[in-house]
Structure 1
């Protein structure tokens, strides 16, 4: 391989590396921007005690906002033991992630 061909190959490789790095930076910037704007979010602190947030659709169950230690939370009583649920947020098919903090207590019942 002569010197001219080696320089051409090196230049081509450098261009590819720069293009890949640029695409990576643009992609990471887009992901960071998207992650900063949640698709849906609710705050139980704004909901009256004993109520359910207006944007929740209770399918079944006695869900209600309760308060303990200055914090509000959504509660589902432990009895009766059954399958209960609610829906919330906009409808979307793919690429969504839900995060929540949950707490439960052991009562010793087994069904």
Structure 2
């Protein structure tokens, strides 16, 4: 029951972060690039937040360690929701503490596994 409530809260955080990002992108002016190099640098800057991939790997590792051979498709969903939910929560709070995010992903994964 507790993990279901936590899943809903994390999903709402992801939804809110997505809506805020969409709103921000729709109100922003279109960027004008003088060269292909500037456009490429801007695109690479969008993907520099590697925290999401690290957090997903941590959540999947937790699932693999504790469930071992009993991994199901739902476990991948839980790992993805834990990592993206924590990332969205920190995005909404405008913080970038990767260590705290990793600790929170471990805690959320632990709750998903045992509660």
**TM-score over 0.5 for the pair:** no
- Larger of the two Rg values belongs to structure: 1
Class of the TM-score when normalised by the shorter of the 2 chains: under 0.3
Report which structure shows greater RCO (CA 8 Å, sep ≥6).
2
Determine which structure has the larger helix proportion and give its number.
Answer: 2
Q: TM-score, normalised by structure 2?
A: 0.27
Q: TM-score, normalised by structure 1?
A: 0.28
